DNA sequence: GTAGAATTTTAGGCGAGGCTAAGATTGACG
DNA sequence: CGTCAATCTTAGCCTCGCCTAAAATTCTAC
């Protein structure tokens, strides 16, 4: 029933993708996974069967997709390796943030538990990846989507749910990376865009994009 | 005809293995590759055909195996990534030397040219991997095998051709890692073992093992 | 130079993981 | 409640990379 070393790259990719969907509170769907992984829905169905056979997901035809405890443990380990790789790339090798995710996607499958542990040691057990996602299991999530954030209150960006290079580059331009302080100034009457003020400047963030930015009220604890 | 990004892991493994054999002046053979890659000779034949189709090796049935210029360029790039990965693992993450090779074998396929370049930058363009192999193309090789080394002269270990964990661990115990200074004291009359003096102590190194240790007369240049 | 050993290749198969096309199921909406 | 679109699965096929068993070739040694 699936040893750690036994997993193929494809299996790891799927587990990670399912985990990401689940964490994002969107139930993973065949089509959603297909888009995320850039394969056809038919291929996803095939792999879901295999994952079910391996005891990594609970699933029946046309049914809901959920990780089993075993699958969840593995997925966590993979995501952890991914995020540690991101920190190594960003902090040690100074890879530009918008490239960090894609590079880490390849590295995560090549990191042994031992090397992952050493990265964590070297970097002083970082808590967050460069996009603001927790590296180890998180208990509670006090963040909200920028879309739901209250107007005129001090907010701070916690993490970006969308790590694609274009999105990260765009948000870097707008100074909307994790730890950035901002306020919501207005919401567009149609389309639901959000007008934010960052660094004294105002930008409008489209609805879909705003939904992927998680923010919170500033904690007195962290003030650079 | 084979873009860089197009290569599968298996193709990269084979190119690297062929390159290693060629560098070691042993012509690569079907059986040799099969052992090195831990697959059957029949599988090697299959892959050799594919590599020939891709224009990466020149080869005909029962004939000699040689990298084409294109194959050689690719193989060099792969070996370079491997050795840069080794330096990163050894220098930054402090992975024990005997594990470095195996970890790098997995990492090398996951490093983009960009990340490889950044590793080289961060580490100050190192010339050698931790086992003493040159990271970039080497012009001439003034080294000799420990088996051929003259007696009673000061010698220094340049590199280990065999990077397997057991061998590296064993040689580390004998203090016979790159840069170690030694003298050949005697040769066994039968079996061809070599008696060396390192650090004031004498050990006998078996014939096969001694053949994989490259040494040279010390250059006045490097004296730690 | 020829027999036997060693090496290499062919033939035939298998599993992983992808695809397309077509059929099944679900769900949204009039 | 039925219909139609969206979603999901099945069926059938493909490539890659590996395997075993058997045949072909080359090498070695008398």
Half-sphere exposure of residue A83: CA atoms within 13 angstroms, side-chain side: 23
Question: What secondary structure letter does DSSP report for B43?
Answer: H
Query: Which residue places its CA closest to the C1' of nucleotide D26?
Result: B62
**pLDDT reported for residue A2:** 46
Q: What is the mean pLDDT of residues A42-71?
A: 95
Distance CA A153, CA A197 (A): 11
SS3 (DSSP) at A39 = coil
**pLDDT reported for residue B1:** 47
Is pLDDT at A140 greater than 80 in this prediction?
no
Is pLDDT at B4 greater than 90 in this prediction?
no
Q: What is the mean pLDDT of residues B172-199?
A: 85
Q: Does the nearest atom of strand D lie within 7 Å of A44's Cβ? A: yes
Distance CA A99, CA A164 (A): 8
**pLDDT reported for residue A111:** 95
Higher pLDDT, A130 or A208: A130
Is pLDDT at B223 greater than 80 in this prediction?
no
Mean per-residue pLDDT over chain A, rounded: 88
CB atoms within 10 A of CB A132: 18
The CATH architecture to which B1-138 belongs is Orthogonal Bundle (1.10)
Residue-wise DSSP of B119-162: HHHHTT--SB-TTS-BSS--S----EEGGGPPBTS-EEEEEES-
Residues B47 and B4 sit within 8 Å (Cβ to Cβ): no
Residue B88 CB partners (closer than 8 Å, separation 6+): B119, B123
On chain A, the residues whose CB falls within 8 A of the CB of B82 are none
Please state the length of chain B.
224
Is pLDDT at A46 greater than 70 in this prediction?
yes
CB atoms within 10 A of CB B62: 7
Residues B206 and B193 sit within 8 Å (Cβ to Cβ): yes
**Which positions of strand C lie within 7 Å of protein CB atoms?**
7-12, 16-22, 25-26
Q: Does the nearest atom of strand D lie within 7 Å of B9's Cβ? A: yes
Is pLDDT at B139 greater than 70 in this prediction?
no
**Which positions of strand D lie within 7 Å of protein CB atoms?**
7-12, 16-22, 25-26
Quick one: pLDDT band at residue A147, thresholds 50, 70, 90?
Answer: confident
SS3 (DSSP) at A200 = coil
Higher pLDDT, A10 or B164: A10
Is pLDDT at A222 greater than 70 in this prediction?
no
Q: Does the nearest atom of strand C lie within 7 Å of A113's Cβ? A: no
Q: Does the nearest atom of strand D lie within 7 Å of B42's Cβ? A: yes
SS3 (DSSP) at B218 = coil
On chain A, the residues whose CB falls within 8 A of the CB of B111 are 106-107
Is pLDDT at B98 greater than 90 in this prediction?
yes
Residues B18 and B28 sit within 8 Å (Cβ to Cβ): yes
Distance CA B21, CA B105 (A): 16
Q: Is B201 exposed, middle or buried (0-12, 13-18, 19+ CB in 10 A)?
A: exposed
Is pLDDT at B13 greater than 90 in this prediction?
yes
Q: What is the mean pLDDT of residues B128-132?
A: 92
pLDDT tens digits, one per residue of B75-94: 999 999 999 999 999 999 99
Is pLDDT at B154 greater than 90 in this prediction?
no
Contact B92 A94 (CB under 8 A): no
Q: What is the mean pLDDT of residues A169-193?
A: 86
**pLDDT reported for residue A223:** 44
Mean per-residue pLDDT over chain B, rounded: 88
Is pLDDT at A179 greater than 90 in this prediction?
no
What b/e readout covers B203-213, taking b as 16+ CB neighbours within 10 angstroms? Answer: bbbeeebbbbb
Is pLDDT at B2 greater than 70 in this prediction?
no
Alpha-carbon A13 to chain mean position: 14
**pLDDT reported for residue B151:** 83
Is pLDDT at A92 greater than 50 in this prediction?
yes
Strand pairing partners for B197? B183, B202
Quick one: pLDDT band at residue A138, thresholds 50, 70, 90?
Answer: low
The CATH architecture to which A144-216 belongs is Roll (2.30)
Q: What is the mean pLDDT of residues B20-42?
A: 92
CA distances from B181 to A49, B175, B208 (A): 59, 9, 20
At CA A49, angle to CA A48 and CA A51, rounded to 5? 65
Q: What is the mean pLDDT of residues A177-192?
A: 84
Is pLDDT at A121 greater than 50 in this prediction?
yes
Higher pLDDT, A22 or A44: A44
Q: Which residue bears the tokens 């994002």? A: A24
Q: Which helix (H) or strand (E) holds A26?
A: none
The CATH architecture to which A1-136 belongs is Orthogonal Bundle (1.10)
**pLDDT reported for residue B5:** 54
Which residues of chain B are at the A interface, by a Cβ-Cβ cutoff of 8 Å?
Answer: 89, 92-95, 99, 103, 106-107, 109-112, 114-115, 118-119, 122
Contact B119 A93 (CB under 8 A): yes
Half-sphere exposure of residue B213: CA atoms within 13 angstroms, side-chain side: 32
**Sequence ranges of the domains in chain A:** 1-136, 144-216
Whose CA is closest to B133, among B182, B100, B111, B110?
Answer: B100
Q: Which residue bears the tokens 């040159």? A: B134
SS3 (DSSP) at A146 = helix
At CA A127, angle to CA A125 and CA A133, rounded to 5? 140
Quick one: pLDDT band at residue B141, thresholds 50, 70, 90?
Answer: confident
**pLDDT reported for residue B140:** 65
**pLDDT reported for residue B194:** 86
Q: What is the mean pLDDT of residues B66-70?
A: 94
**pLDDT reported for residue A33:** 97
Q: What is the mean pLDDT of residues B16-41?
A: 93
Residues A18 and A67 sit within 8 Å (Cβ to Cβ): yes
At CA B181, angle to CA B180 and CA B187, rounded to 5? 110
Percent of residues, chain A, with pLDDT higher than 70? 93
Contact A93 B115 (CB under 8 A): yes
At CA B47, angle to CA B41 and CA B53, rounded to 5? 145
Distance CA B77, CA B82 (A): 9
Is pLDDT at B3 greater than 70 in this prediction?
no
pLDDT tens digits, one per residue of A96-116: 999 999 999 999 999 999 999
Q: Does the nearest atom of strand D lie within 7 Å of B154's Cβ? A: no
Runs of H (alpha helix) within A1-154: 9-23, 30-37, 41-53, 69-87, 97-107, 113-122
């Amino acid at each position: 029933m699936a040893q750690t070393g036994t997993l193929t790259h494809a299996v790891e990719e799927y587990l990670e993708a399912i985990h990401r969907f689940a964490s994002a509170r969107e139930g993973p769907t065949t089509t959603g996974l297909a888009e995320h992984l850039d394969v056809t829905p038919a291929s996803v169905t095939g792999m879901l069967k295999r994952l079910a056979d391996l005891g990594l997901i609970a699933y029946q035809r046309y049914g809901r997709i959920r990780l089993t405890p075993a699958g969840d443990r593995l997925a966590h380990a993979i995501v952890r390796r991914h995020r540690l790789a991101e920190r190594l790339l960003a902090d040690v090798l100074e890879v530009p943030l918008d490239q960090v995710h894609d590079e880490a996607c390849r590295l995560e499958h090549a990191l042994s538990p031992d090397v992952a542990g050493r990265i964590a040691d070297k970097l002083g057990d970082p808590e967050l990846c460069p996009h603001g996602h927790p590296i180890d299991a998180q208990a509670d999530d006090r963040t909200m989507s920028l879309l739901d954030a209250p107007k005129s209150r001090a907010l701070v960006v916690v993490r970006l749910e969308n790590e694609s290079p274009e999105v990260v580059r765009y948000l870097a331009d707008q100074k909307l990376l994790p730890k950035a302080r901002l306020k919501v100034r207005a919401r567009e009457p149609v389309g639901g865009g959000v007008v934010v003020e960052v660094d004294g400047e105002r930008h409008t963030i489209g609805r879909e994009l705003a939904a992927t930015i998680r923010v919170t009220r500033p904690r007195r604890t962290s003030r650079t």
